[in-house]
Structure 1
Amino acid sequence: MTVPSATELPDERLAAGAARLAVRHAGRFSPETVRDLLADSYRRLAEPARVRTHLVVLAERLTEERLAALAHVTSDPGEGPRRVLFVCSRNAGRSQLAAALLTHRAAGRVTATSAGTEPAAETDPNVAQALAELGVDLAEVFPKPLTDEVVRAADIVITMGCGDACPVVPGRRYLDWPVADPEGAPPATVRRIRDDIDSRVTELLATLNDH
């Protein structure tokens, strides 16, 4: 039986993405590190058959986010904008709403990311519609698994209904937002949840601007 090498890709179509990422992060991460992370991202999205379409493209996007988080972890303290990570169970509703709204309101002053402890296959369409009503586009967004890099890179971790599965890393500021789950809710309810999260995001941004 042949044992795969540490940098063997599970899908040959990933090779082009690995090359792009390696060039983009040359001088900071080795091509082997990039390939390892890309292969891991692909497997996390593919198993157990969670993502069936655009898997290669989504694996590259997830890897880019993980590499950016790793780069932040290894950079000088205080370098770059503050990073806020929103975590819920499915990463299809609450955490997507919060990350998108913070990105929209912060206008580049804060980097907002989101992840799920048990991510869904796709973002809730009612959530996407509620954000579109505010001019926020979720076309490029997809539910992502929670990884160690994004937790360690976050200055603030905001949990939203993931219970004991939510991450705990020493040295991070933690907040818990008791926000209703929009999964399966009608559009009017999703809008109320959106507005609740938006008010919390506005308050959070005000405290970040004070520091």
Structure 2
Amino acid sequence: DEMRDAMHPGVSESEMWAALHAGNIKRGGEWIETRILSSGPRTNPWFQECGPRIMQEGDMMAFDTDLVGTHGYCCDISRSWIVGDVPPSDEQRTLYKVAYEHVMTNIDLIQPGMSFAEMTAKAHRLPEAYRALRYGVLAHGVGLCDEYPSVRYPEDVEEHGYSGHFEPGMTLCVEAYIGAVGGREGVKLEEQVVVTETGCETLSVYPYEQALLA
């Protein structure tokens, strides 16, 4: 809520990040591992830290919490929002819908006993235009910080993949970054889940953007 309240045209990326940090500390959290928040053209490619850029109306603003919160546990989700009270563009909607489908499809896929290789083989396949800038993993473990396992995209298995399978009680972050090479903006979404005896249970209750899914 602090970030939503702070987000409007004329505010810097760093001010937005400060709102997240303050909200974490206020709730008894500890610290934040990164500063990954960007807006407008700085959302493509991903992994740019927040800076002095002043956000403009209609910008896409995307962030990854990467915070160590209450009781020392990592809260690791990503969301992408539109700055200001304006409707999103068709391109922004397209990016967001692909990211959302990617994350939701892959969450629904995970089952206890499934191998990492099987998830890689069955996971939602990104459209060709977005594969070059894909995120580093389909999903990763999380506990006190980012942890085992790292489940890779098909393109990355040979170099970085390893064997293993999902077990009940594993906490995972399922991710998507959607942006085209040379595109103006990108969208980052990430959801935190726990593997149960029958599938996955979502741990975050923060909603997605209906205006971008319309």
Task: Please report the TM-score for the alignment, with normalisation by the length of structure 1.
Answer: 0.31
Q: Which is strand-richer, 1 or 2?
A: 2
Task: Please report the TM-score for the alignment, with normalisation by the length of structure 2.
Answer: 0.31
The answer to which structure, 1 or 2, has the higher relative contact order (CA under 8 A, 6+ apart) is 2
